Amino acid sequence: MAYGPNIEEADRRVATYVAKILKGAKPADLPVEQPTTFELVLNLKTAETLGLTIPPALLFQANEVIR
């Protein structure tokens, strides 16, 4: 199980920062941004191997389920 920021959104934010820097902005003047979108990914194959049972409510909330 993993819970963390959306990587695609982070990549887009990095691209925005790079564009601002290439247009002449000083990196030190750019604000620090925190992720706003998080994802929950569950790996059922690993859970089965470890003998764990994932509750259906948690499966329903997951953004991605690896089978």
- pTM for the predicted model, two decimal places: 0.71
Compute the C-alpha angle 61/63/67, nearest 5°: 100
- Separation CA 27–CA 15 (nearest Å): 13
Q: Return the pLDDT at 17.
A: 93
At 63, the amino acid letter reads N
pLDDT by residue, tens only, the chain of 67 residues: 999 999 999 999 999 999 999 999 999 999 998 998 999 999 999 999 999 999 999 999 999 999 9
